[in-house]
Amino acid sequence: MIKYSGQTRVLVAVDCIIFGFDGENYKLLLIQRGFAPEKKKWSLMGGFIQPDESLEQAASRILLELTGLKNVYMEQLHTFSDPKRDPVERTIAVTYFALIDIQKYEKQLSKDYHAEWFLLKEMPHLIFDHEQMVEMARNRLRYKAAMHPILFELLPDRFTIPQLQALYEGLYDTTLDKRNFSRKLLSTGLLVKQQEKDKENSKKGAFYYKLDKEKYTDDFQAFLNFIPKPDKLLS
């Protein structure tokens, strides 16, 4: 096999940033690192790309091996290439991130590597530059959610307006006016009110709604008038 002469070989790793929503709070999926350095310290799901893999294939394999999760849509985020980011060898890390419904994937989660969900606001110290990776992924989600209503993908078939409000408040670290949020949301005409109520969280109960998927596909822009503007998210 012909190789480029006089070139230094560099390792390429893939790190997976998995955010979850449990109906009330955002969480981050972490594992305990299985080898030195920083053995047993909390880490994102990571591993090295193999010669016969694409980056996407490596990300899916690593996530499956370390957590048991599969068929999770992940999106490439950024490449971290600081020469000193890994104290052992020169390693370039390509990051992928995903936002998933915890309840949907909970049964898949493997305990072999002590994968554990942490409240995003209370995540422990992470190895290397992983905290920087998490912050960048969170900012990307904030921006994407303001441009497109991707957060609806996390909701069950029936949901309440308080659940939807918690979804946006948690992502943007803000408190939205309850009446104003509800008024603007219902004015879109894209929600179908159900007869049943969710009475687990209050005595009065909150009506369930369903998303009119046909109207939603045709006019999802109608939802964007109550979401924070993109230029305010990253300031």
Whole-number pLDDT of residue 230 = 47
| One domain for residues 57 and 76 | yes
Domain housing 35: 11-146
Whole-number pLDDT of residue 234 = 41
Give the number of other Cβ atoms within 10 Å of residue 212's Cβ. 15
* Amino acid identity, position 159: F
Look at residue 232 and tell me whether its pLDDT is greater than 50: no
Which whole number is the average pLDDT over 165-186? 88
Query: Residue 174: pLDDT band by 50, 70, 90 thresholds?
Result: confident
Look at residue 22 and tell me whether its pLDDT is greater than 90: no
| One domain for residues 16 and 132 | yes
Q: Whole-number mean pLDDT of the chain?
A: 87
Which whole number is the average pLDDT over 177-205? 85
Q: CATH no. for residue 189?
A: 1.10.10.10
Whole-number pLDDT of residue 99 = 86
Query: Cβ(145)–Cβ(223) under 8 Å?
Result: no
Look at residue 234 and tell me if it is in a domain: no
How many residues belong to the chain? 235
Q: Is the pLDDT higher at 226 or at 78? A: 78
| One domain for residues 154 and 116 | no
- End residue of a domain, out of 146, 168, 196: 146
| One domain for residues 202 and 103 | no
Overall number of domains in the chain? 2
Q: Cα–Cα distances in Å, from 234 out to 70, 92, 138, 166, 191?
A: 31, 26, 10, 20, 29
| One domain for residues 154 and 137 | no
Query: 40 Cβ partners below 8 Å, 6+ apart?
Result: 32, 33, 34
106-164 pLDDT tens trace: 778 877 777 899 999 999 999 999 999 999 999 999 888 877 767 777 777 888 999 88
Q: Is the pLDDT higher at 185 or at 39? A: 39
58-91 pLDDT tens trace: 999 999 999 989 888 899 999 999 999 999 999 9
